[in-house]
């Protein structure tokens, strides 16, 4: 999906309004989708002036910065200047501008752009770093980041190793940098705690590729109620923001808005034959309740593998069956993985460990199905049901450093799966 976009929305239907904050990165090949987003919002204003939705839109293109304000009077530019600061600090100011003085509004945040889920931006190998520093065009850099599964989002230069001031200026002059999923979630937590005074964001959405992962959802459980994201690569133009505004106007609750966004996205994508798509909405309170049983499944699976090489082969077969065809086959659909593993263990010799795993899987499936409140995908994609998880054929700890890896027992499971840990 092209175009970095942060869309923070607070809204109301009948008695509860929504306000939104939207950040669009429009450099190079992101320009088209960014302009499409702005046009959709302008059309939504023109078609149905409304008093129940207002918002701030920040658009970055190279060193140019534009800030729009949208309310019942329409959509207008309130600032047009040269961009000097980091996008992080600008986002905080924009969110304050959008939400200060509106404590009772519903809220939604959407990031739209390149996403890589749990795969963090990391220090480049020395040879590749030198090559990167010689890049003179935005398009080459963008292709490089896409090939490396990086998330183009923010001028947070400390996501990379320390370097010279000259090197830093290359990124600032082109408004480039890498924002880790951890940094992303820290920003959202700051919005919840410091701008919304501890109240959770109603909806966080990712109009981006590969962000519907358990790792990202788990990061958000304390600062948001619902998350909307795609498990796969998104089509270039992304979401239909005219339909999104309609959802905010028509649906009284965050639950209903989340589901409607997913299903209107499916209707939009079905008009484009042959385009792969997926989108799901997750209830983050259910994800929080899911934590304990998730760890239980990971632990019992590792114990079963340690006591039987045949069981390890079974897990390998299940993983291969449900692996997803993106990010180098490093992810699986979690719901499909659980369903297939539960079916397969009926055929293996039953031990105490296997029985414990079976009970844990049944409990996990119940909670995960409760968490996935809406999910759509191209019909040919049987194993795309709403939530992915990092599950590579060969585990590389340097590529998996999200907070989830240290909070959960999944890393221990991956090490056991690869034979590097005795359980």
pLDDT at res. 172:
27
**Residue 150 maps to a domain:** no
Amino acid 23: pLDDT:
77
Are 185 and 326 found together in one domain?
Answer: no
Given 260, 283, 306, the domain boundary residue is 283
Can you tell me the distance from the alpha carbon of 11 to that of 248, in angstroms, rounded to the nearest whole number?
6
Both 29 and 107 in a single domain?
yes
Distance CA 121, CA 406 (A): 17
Backbone angles phi, psi at 219, to 5 degrees: -65, -30
Cα–Cα dist 176/153, whole Å? 7
Contact of 94 with 56, CB cutoff 8 Å: yes
Nearest CA among 298, 397, 382 for reference residue 341: 298
Q: Are residues 278 and 334 in the same domain?
A: no
CA angle 269, 376, 218 (to 5 degrees): 120
Q: Is residue 125 part of a domain?
A: no
The answer to whether residue 159 sits within a structural domain is no
Q: Which two tokens stand for residue 231?
A: 């498990």
215 and 335 assigned to the same domain: no
Domain count, the chain: 2
In a domain, 87, yes or no: yes
End residue of a domain, out of 283, 314, 348: 283
Give residue for tokens 């008695």: 15
- The CATH number of the domain where 98 resides is what? 3.40.50
User: Could you tell me the residue range of the domain that residue 352 belongs to?
Assistant: 287-417
pLDDT at 369: 97
How far apart (Å, rounded) are the C-alpha atoms in residues 366 and 287?
Answer: 11
Q: Quick check: is 402 in a domain?
A: yes
Residue reference for tokens 């700051």: 190
Verify that 320 and 276 share a domain, yes or no: no
277 and 295 in a single domain? The answer is no
* Residue 153 within any structural domain of the chain: no
Whole-model pTM over 0.75: yes
Evaluate whether residue 71 is within a structural domain: yes
Report the C-alpha gap between 14 and 251 in whole angstroms. 9
Which residues in the chain land under pLDDT 50?
A: 1-6, 9-14, 120-178, 420-423
Q: Are residues 328 and 186 in the same domain?
A: no
User: Which one of 239, 259, 283 terminates a domain?
Assistant: 283
Residues 265, 239: contact at Cβ < 8 Å? Answer: yes
Helix (H, G, I), strand (E, B) or coil at 378: coil
Domain co-membership, 295 together with 264: no
- Provide the b/e sequence for 185-205 (b: ≥16 CB within 10 Å): bbbbbbbbeebbeeebbbbbb
Residues 273, 298, single domain; the answer is: no
Q: Are residues 255 and 328 in the same domain?
A: no
Residues contacting 200, CB < 8 A, separation 6+:
192, 222, 223, 224, 225
User: Do 267 and 306 have their domain in common?
Assistant: no
What are the pLDDT digits (tens) for 403-417? 788 889 998 999 889
* Domain-located, residue 145: no
Q: What is the pLDDT of residue 271?
A: 81
Let me know whether 371 and 258 are in one domain. Answer: no
């Amino acid at each position: 999906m092209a175009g970095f976009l942060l869309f923070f929305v607070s809204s109301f239907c009948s008695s509860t309004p929504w306000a939104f904050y939207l950040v669009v990165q429009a450099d190079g090949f992101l320009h088209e989708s960014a302009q499409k987003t702005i046009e959709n919002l302008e059309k939504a204003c023109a078609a149905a002036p409304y008093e129940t939705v207002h918002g701030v839109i920040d658009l970055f293109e190279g060193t140019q910065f534009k800030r729009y304000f949208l309310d019942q009077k329409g959509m207008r530019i309130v600032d047009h200047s040269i961009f000097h600061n980091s996008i992080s600090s600008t986002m905080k100011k924009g969110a304050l501008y959008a939400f200060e003085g509106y404590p009772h509004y519903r809220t939604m945040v959407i990031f739209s752009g390149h996403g890589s889920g749990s795969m963090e931006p990391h220090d480049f190998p020395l040879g590749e770093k030198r090559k990167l520093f010689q890049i003179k065009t935005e398009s080459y850099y963008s292709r490089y980041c896409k090939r490396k599964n990086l998330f183009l989002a923010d001028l947070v230069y400390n996501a990379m190793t320390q370097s010279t001031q000259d090197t830093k200026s290359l990124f600032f002059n082109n408004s480039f940098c890498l924002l880790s999923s951890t940094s992303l979630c820290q920003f959202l937590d700051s919005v919840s705690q410091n701008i919304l005074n501890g109240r959770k964001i109603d909806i966080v959405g990712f109009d981006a590729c590969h962000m519907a992962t358990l790792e990202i959802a788990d990061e958000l459980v304390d600062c948001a109620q619902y998350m909307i994201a795609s498990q796969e690569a998104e089509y270039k133009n992304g979401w239909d923001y005219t339909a999104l505004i309609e959802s905010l106007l028509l649906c009284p609750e965050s639950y209903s808005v989340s589901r409607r966004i997913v299903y209107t996205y499916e209707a939009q994508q079905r008009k484009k034959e042959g385009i792969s798509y997926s989108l799901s909405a997750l209830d983050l309170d259910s994800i929080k309740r899911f934590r304990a049983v998730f760890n239980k499944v990971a632990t019992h699976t590792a114990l079963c593998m340690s006591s039987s090489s045949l069981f390890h082969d079974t897990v390998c077969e299940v993983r291969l069956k449900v692996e997803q065809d993106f990010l180098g086959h490093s992810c699986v659909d979690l719901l499909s993985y659980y369903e297939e593993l539960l079916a397969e263990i009926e055929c293996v010799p039953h031990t105490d460990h296997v029985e414990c795993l079976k009970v844990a899987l049944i409990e996990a499936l119940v909670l995960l199905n409760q968490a996935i409140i809406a999910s759509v995908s191209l019909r040919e994609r049987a194993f795309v049901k709403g939530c992915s998880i990092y599950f590579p054929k060969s585990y590389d700890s340097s590529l998996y450093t999200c907070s989830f890896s240290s909070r959960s027992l999944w890393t221990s499971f991956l090490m056991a799966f690869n034979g590097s840990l005795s359980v």
